[in-house]
A and B are shown apart, each in its own frame.
Chain A
Amino acid sequence: MKISYEWLSEYVDLEGVTPEQIAEELTRGGIEVDIVEQRDAGVENVVVGYVMEAKQHPNADKLRVCQVDAGREEPLQIVCGAPNVARGQKVPVALHGAKLPGGVKIKNTKLRGEKSQGMICSAKELGLPEKLLPTEQTEGILVLPEEAEVGSDVRPLLGLTDTVLELDLTPNRSDCLSMWGTAYEVAALLDREIWLPEAPAAHPSGKTKTVAIELDAEEDCPFYAAQVVDNLKLAPSPQWLQNRLVAAGIRPINNVVDVTNYVMLEYGQPLHAFDYDKVTDGEIVVRRAQPGEQVKTLDGVTRACDGETLLITDGTQPIGIAGVMGGENSEVTESTTTVLLESAFFAPPSIRSTARKLGLRSEASNRFEKGVDPERIVPALQRAVQLLQELAGGEPASEVTVEKMGDVEDVTVQLRHDRLNNVLGVQVKPETVRDVFRRLRFEMEERDGVYRVRVPSRRPDISIEVDLIEEVARIYGYDKIPTTLPWGQQSPGALTREQKLRRVVRHTLRDAGFNEVLNYSLTSPDRLKELPPLDKGIRPVRLNMPMSDERKVLRTTLLPQLVESAEYNVHRRQEQLAFFELGRTYITEEKKLTELPQERWELAALVTGPLAAAHWQGNNQPVDFFTVKGQLEMLLTRLGVQGIAYRAAELEGFHPGRTAEVLLNGRVIGCIGQIHLQVSEAHDLEETYAFQVQLAPLFEAAVTDPKYAPIPRYPSTTRDLALVVHQDVPAAELESAIRQAGGKLLVDATLFDVFTGKQVGEGKKSVAYTLTYRAEDRTLTDEEVNEVHGRIVEHVEAAFRAVLRQ
């Protein structure tokens, strides 16, 4: 809402208060003022001139030499390039030394040999908002009204001495979508007088025209008032009215339409003028549309309605979409002489949904959506009729006709003084409270520390006690609320175990050189297909109305976006690309959600290229499977997770020979491997390795409180064991067989060498372990160790057809 300071001062005593002070008070009171704008935009020394003569320039086809009476002793000679300049016009003249917006200064000069003592200005040159002006005012120079006084400053005439305050209103304060509402608010904040003149009802003097109102959708429209005005002479509105509309950001059209807009700004009640002659029998039927019914609105577009669209009809056909836009068939045109003025209450939900569906948001619908004040419906209508009489020669041709369902009653809300103080945490004096309600102009009775407040219908945002507490607080001043700390029962603060462990994961990976990324939860289905999640049968959750194809579904896996993060950085020549993300995936099997999807915390990490920075000593090897696996293992160690196994697997998007499922106690919780070359190459990545694991099972298995075990008291003995086995024997199986055969005395088995080659034979590999033997209660003898070691050898020989390598 844009508020003209000059207009506002008609209703509130603003003496000695600057627009900036009002802005400050409003903002501190909860009505944020975004902009305080001087309308003159720096115009100085521009006066009204009378064009006495406009002759062709002797040396230039497109220029005219004008003699202009600008109230000076001598007429001024001004060369003008505008085609519309003509003798007898009143025009804005920038005199020698004048200033125009944008720092332009005007001086006497010569143009093609003719002296020019100033400039005749266009609307644009004066900084007027061209978009809001009718074309006849924006093409060429601005022609001023005939009554403009020659030699006088143009600024008051064009409303340029005014200041406009632009309010950024929260949805609860729709009462300030009007001059009156803002006047109440400013008067309360400043504690000033207020004058809100009302227009009396105008009665027809001669023959009357019929108006018959029928409300067929009571819930959507419980209150409708109308009056017919005839004998209208359509013309441009007077300058002062145009100025006010322009200041409010509304385009002047003609005196009839302008009056409806003016009263909307003044009272907050949108009005609509139908051409009475197009309304069959003066009948108004408000009803819901038939599904599929069409209405051509006055912007020329044919709108298809559904069963919820509220229509204004004349009983035979729709003549407008209620509260949103009038119909073309009943539009006020140049030939209109009689109008039916509508002032009504349309239910906010109905207007909101229709405006939304049709994509039509207007000044009117904006007010109806938030609820207009039923008490202003008739006064606004009367005011409009009064203005049509004054400005358009109109005469009332019917009485004010009202159809309404029930009466609106003022709301009474109680406020307990104790409660006020308890909620604010401050001691407000009763006289302060009384004063606040006086300033707000709320009637109030006080008894035993309870205020019974009659809330006027213009403030529908106030319905319960806390609403009044807020009113008191904002008028009393939030700056008077102290800072204290809660004294009540103290509670210990803490993270949950899961939250702590998530931090452990983050910090461990960070310390290992990984960079945490944050990717969007919304992605494209195609991206997910490239590296699909392990789960079968799940469907990505789909948005109903996505903003773009890129953000259509919720991710079911984190890896595809990590690949993208890597690609983004490769394209920016970044190195040491190691990323991780901790985030949720959204899992459902439902095609159409009936319940919330499962949100699963997952960890994904990805490394590509060398992990270490290039160093003058060399050794920045590209990452390989075992480096990344080692990083995962390190993390698992840090979390105290045991029971993890890796099982070779062929997974979509991964290298078929370099990928494993990660199992926790036999259950798949994730995967690790090389990203398939087709994928990594498509994203300009070198060999890339990644893993993704679910956090919930990991955290369930995590043991982060260590249990002390005594330091061994007896020495251990080690023996190396080198075996030749078939190449396909997984090392993990071999190791578990060794450990099993070794029993309690074998305390460790460390694989230290693997190789293939001619020495070991085709299709074979040599695997070497260091086995550590120890007993808790004695030093083992050679014989004892030999016995266990022998048992191990026998076992693996039998189980894997392993051959001991000498």
Chain B
Amino acid sequence: MRDRLEALREEAASSIQAAESLEQLKELRIKYLGKKGELTSILRGMKDVAPEERPVIGGLANEIRSAMEKQLDEKESDLQEAALKARLKEETIDVTLPGKQAPLGTIHPIQAVIEQIEDIFIGMGFEVAEGPEVESDYYNFEALNLPKEHPARDMQDSFYITPEILLRTHTSPVQVRTMEAKEGQVPVKIICPGKVYRRDDDDATHSHQFTQVEGLVVDRGISMSELNGILLSFAEQFFGMELETRLRPSYFPFTEPSVEMDISCVMCGGKGCRVCKQTGWIEILGAGMVHPRVLEHGGYNAERYTGFAFGMGPERMAMLKYGIDDIRHFYTNDLRFLRQFKTL
């Protein structure tokens, strides 16, 4: 009996070791340890064993049972681990294959730049005002100190619809419209982004339709140094760098004095490059102190209040900021262009 038990121990140990799958292992467990298993069937012969030997044989049988159980458990855990490993190995993918990107569109760069400009001025206490694109001659010209036959009307050759109605040539009409709506309240602090139209042939630097952002501040005691200060602060925020400004006298019928503002070149930092034509300066906007006649047209006493106005072109700002070389790109809607601005 002892021999049979020893033989069983040997046989079981080697078959468990040789098991290749969890099923096989389960079968072996039944085969050796089940109710009808081989160990039980050997132990049935206990009655034939001499009584004094029974405890010894019994002890041996228990020892063999627990050894078998331990081997089975160990093997099971090994096989489980191997199976998991195999599965993981099988599930391995090429992680360098391209992902399935959710489609991401774009905001038009001009619109994105307008939003940037709006946000900067909102941070400085400005409201965003809007006005009609089809405008009366009065608001587009006359209220801005540009009576009919004024030579400066030539500067902005216009698309007329009737003798009194035209496509606005600038966003400046919103100045007088806003002042009228404010009914003499101060401060007036607005910017007005929008589309404008001029009779220009479309080329690399001209477009018959483009955008402008107009600004207007009216209050008591507004001076040119504040115009200078606000616009410097704007330009530094917009271009994200420290800049210098330079005012040059210019002419707009609706401001007096009128200036053009240059900033130190954002490309070369003022050393001189192709973009700034070696001058170190680039022109970014026109501005000036609101002409007294315009204030009066808006219902403000020009003796009591002063103000400044400015106008800039988002196309130009975008071209400078992103290095775009041709204004026509903005209106061609070529995806190869638009998709370069996914981060805006």
- Residues of B within 8 Å of A509, CB to CB, are 105
Digitize B115-135: 1 where CB-to-A-CB distance is under 8 Å, 0 elsewhere: 100100111111110101111
Query: Beyond A171-B152, A352-B151, A503-B115, is A596–B224 a contact (Cβ under 8 Å)?
Result: no
- Residues of A within 8 Å of B150, CB to CB, are 171
Query: Beyond A482-B225, A543-B160, is A596–B333 a contact (Cβ under 8 Å)?
Result: no
Q: Are B257 and A513 in contact (CB under 8 A)?
A: no
Query: Beyond A478-B259, A510-B107, is A173–B251 a contact (Cβ under 8 Å)?
Result: yes
Q: Are B208 and A522 in contact (CB under 8 A)?
A: yes
B88 contacts A by Cβ under 8 Å? no
- Residues of B within 8 Å of A568, CB to CB, are 332-334
A141 contacts B by Cβ under 8 Å? no
- Residues of B within 8 Å of A515, CB to CB, are 105-106, 333, 335, 338-339
- Residues of A within 8 Å of B152, CB to CB, are 170-172
A764 contacts B by Cβ under 8 Å? no
Q: Are B189 and A491 in contact (CB under 8 A)?
A: yes
Stretch among B31-39, B51-59, B71-79, B228-236 lining the A interface: B228-236
Q: Are B335 and A488 in contact (CB under 8 A)?
A: no
A408 contacts B by Cβ under 8 Å? no
- Residues of A within 8 Å of B291, CB to CB, are 466
Q: Are A596 and B249 in contact (CB under 8 A)?
A: no
- Residues of A within 8 Å of B195, CB to CB, are 521
Instruction: Identify B104's interface contact among A29, A470, A511, A544, CB under 8 A.
Output: A511
Q: Are A473 and B249 in contact (CB under 8 A)?
A: yes
How long is the Cα–Cα vector from A494 to B219 in the complex, in angstroms?
Answer: 19
Q: Are A481 and B247 in contact (CB under 8 A)?
A: yes
- Residues of B within 8 Å of A349, CB to CB, are 148-149
Q: Are A516 and B225 in contact (CB under 8 A)?
A: no
Instruction: Identify B97's interface contact among A172, A464, A491, A616, CB under 8 A.
Output: A616
Q: Are B151 and A370 in contact (CB under 8 A)?
A: yes
A495 to B, closest residue via Cβ: B128
Q: Are B222 and A170 in contact (CB under 8 A)?
A: no
- Residues of B within 8 Å of A565, CB to CB, are 333
- Residues of B within 8 Å of A578, CB to CB, are 103, 105
With both chains docked as a complex, state the minimum distance between the C-beta of A584 and any C-beta of chain B, in angstroms: 6
How long is the Cα–Cα vector from A369 to B306 in the complex, in angstroms?
Answer: 32
Q: SS class of chain B's interface: helix, strand, loop or mixed?
A: mixed
Digitize B154-180: 1 where CB-to-A-CB distance is under 8 Å, 0 elsewhere: 110001111001010000000000000
Q: Are B223 and A423 in contact (CB under 8 A)?
A: yes
How long is the Cα–Cα vector from A777 to B244 in the complex, in angstroms?
Answer: 68
Q: Are A554 and B134 in contact (CB under 8 A)?
A: yes
Query: Beyond A479-B246, A485-B233, A572-B336, is A425–B225 a contact (Cβ under 8 Å)?
Result: yes
B200 to A, closest residue via Cβ: A547
A507 to B, closest residue via Cβ: B107
- Residues of A within 8 Å of B111, CB to CB, are 506, 516, 518
With both chains docked as a complex, state the minimum distance between the C-beta of A310 and any C-beta of chain B, in angstroms: 14
Within 8 A of A (CB), among B241-257: 245-251, 256-257
Q: Are A171 and B230 in contact (CB under 8 A)?
A: no
With both chains docked as a complex, state the minimum distance between the C-beta of A139 and any C-beta of chain B, in angstroms: 35
Within 8 A of A (CB), among B130-149: 130, 132-136, 148-149
How long is the Cα–Cα vector from A226 to B57 in the complex, in angstroms?
Answer: 152
A145 contacts B by Cβ under 8 Å? no
- Residues of B within 8 Å of A369, CB to CB, are 151
- Residues of B within 8 Å of A173, CB to CB, are 251
- Residues of A within 8 Å of B105, CB to CB, are 509-516, 578, 580
Q: Are A613 and B162 in contact (CB under 8 A)?
A: no
A348 contacts B by Cβ under 8 Å? yes
- Residues of A within 8 Å of B219, CB to CB, are 486, 488-489
Digitize B173-212: 1 where CB-to-A-CB distance is under 8 Å, 0 elsewhere: 0000000000000110100000101010100000011000
A619 to B, closest residue via Cβ: B100
Which of B122, B249, B306, B336 has most chain A Cβ within 10 Å? B249
B98 contacts A by Cβ under 8 Å? yes
How long is the Cα–Cα vector from A25 to B23 in the complex, in angstroms?
Answer: 99
Digitize B40-81: 1 where CB-to-A-CB distance is under 8 Å, 0 elsewhere: 000000000000000000000000000000000000000000
- Residues of B within 8 Å of A469, CB to CB, are 256-257, 289
Q: Are B250 and A30 in contact (CB under 8 A)?
A: yes
Within 8 A of B (CB), among A505-532: 506-507, 509-522
A426 contacts B by Cβ under 8 Å? yes
Query: Beyond A466-B257, A592-B162, is A574–B335 a contact (Cβ under 8 Å)?
Result: yes
With both chains docked as a complex, state the minimum distance between the C-beta of B307 and any C-beta of chain A, in angstroms: 10
A551 contacts B by Cβ under 8 Å? yes
Q: Are B256 and A466 in contact (CB under 8 A)?
A: yes
Digitize A542-557: 1 where CB-to-B-CB distance is under 8 Å, 0 elsewhere: 1111110001001000
B330 contacts A by Cβ under 8 Å? yes
Instruction: Identify B125's interface contact among A479, A491, A547, A594, CB under 8 A.
Output: A491
Within 8 A of A (CB), among B288-344: 289, 291-292, 306, 330-336, 338-339
B194 to A, closest residue via Cβ: A584
How long is the Cα–Cα vector from A29 to B260 in the complex, in angstroms?
Answer: 11
- Residues of B within 8 Å of A29, CB to CB, are 249
Which of A29, A486, A565 has most chain B Cβ within 10 Å? A486
- Residues of A within 8 Å of B9, CB to CB, are none
B265 contacts A by Cβ under 8 Å? no
B226 contacts A by Cβ under 8 Å? yes
B221 contacts A by Cβ under 8 Å? yes
- Residues of A within 8 Å of B199, CB to CB, are 547
Q: Are B125 and A520 in contact (CB under 8 A)?
A: no
B130 to A, closest residue via Cβ: A499
How long is the Cα–Cα vector from A578 to B292 in the complex, in angstroms?
Answer: 49
Q: Are B127 and A520 in contact (CB under 8 A)?
A: no
Which of A423, A490, A551 has most chain B Cβ within 10 Å? A423
B101 contacts A by Cβ under 8 Å? yes
Instruction: Identify A424's interface contact among B115, B134, B151, B224, CB under 8 A.
Output: B224
Q: Are A493 and B160 in contact (CB under 8 A)?
A: no
Q: Are B104 and A510 in contact (CB under 8 A)?
A: yes
With both chains docked as a complex, state the minimum distance between the C-beta of A242 and any C-beta of chain B, in angstroms: 31
How long is the Cα–Cα vector from A470 to B249 in the complex, in angstroms?
Answer: 8
Digitize A453-496: 1 where CB-to-B-CB distance is under 8 Å, 0 elsewhere: 00000000000101101100110001101111110111111111
Q: Are A522 and B197 in contact (CB under 8 A)?
A: yes
Instruction: Identify A513's interface contact among B102, B148, B189, CB under 8 A.
Output: B102
With both chains docked as a complex, state the minimum distance between the C-beta of B1 and any C-beta of chain A, in angstroms: 64
- Residues of A within 8 Å of B26, CB to CB, are none
- Residues of A within 8 Å of B250, CB to CB, are 30, 170
Digitize A571-614: 1 where CB-to-B-CB distance is under 8 Å, 0 elsewhere: 01010111110001010000011101101000000000001110
Q: Are B230 and A485 in contact (CB under 8 A)?
A: yes
- Residues of B within 8 Å of A554, CB to CB, are 134, 167
Query: Beyond A491-B125, A593-B161, is A569–B333 a contact (Cβ under 8 Å)?
Result: yes
- Residues of B within 8 Å of A516, CB to CB, are 105-108, 111, 338
B258 contacts A by Cβ under 8 Å? yes
With both chains docked as a complex, state the minimum distance between the C-beta of B219 and any C-beta of chain A, in angstroms: 5
Query: Beyond A478-B259, A492-B125, A520-B331, is A466–B151 a contact (Cβ under 8 Å)?
Result: no
- Nearest first, the 7 A-B pairs at minimum CB distance are A513-B103, A425-B225, A425-B223, A30-B249, A170-B251, A470-B257, A493-B122
- Can you name 5 A-B pairs with beta carbons within 8 Å? A426-B223, A469-B257, A481-B225, A495-B128, A518-B330
Q: Which residues of A contact B (CB under 8 A)?
A: 27-30, 170-174, 348-349, 352-353, 369-370, 422-426, 464, 466-467, 469-470, 473-474, 478-479, 481-486, 488-496, 499, 503, 506-507, 509-522, 541-547, 551, 554, 565, 568-569, 572, 574, 576-580, 584, 586, 592-594, 596-597, 599, 611-613, 615-617
Q: Which residues of B contact A (CB under 8 A)?
A: 97-98, 100-108, 110-111, 115, 118, 121-128, 130, 132-136, 148-152, 154-155, 159-162, 165, 167, 186-187, 189, 195, 197, 199, 201, 208-209, 217, 219-226, 228-230, 232-233, 245-251, 256-259, 289, 291-292, 306, 330-336, 338-339
Question: Beyond the given A470-B257, A485-B230, could you list 12 further A-B residue pairs with CB under 8 A, ordered by the A residue number?
Answer: A348-B149, A353-B149, A370-B151, A483-B232, A484-B223, A489-B186, A494-B128, A543-B159, A545-B159, A584-B133, A586-B133, A596-B136
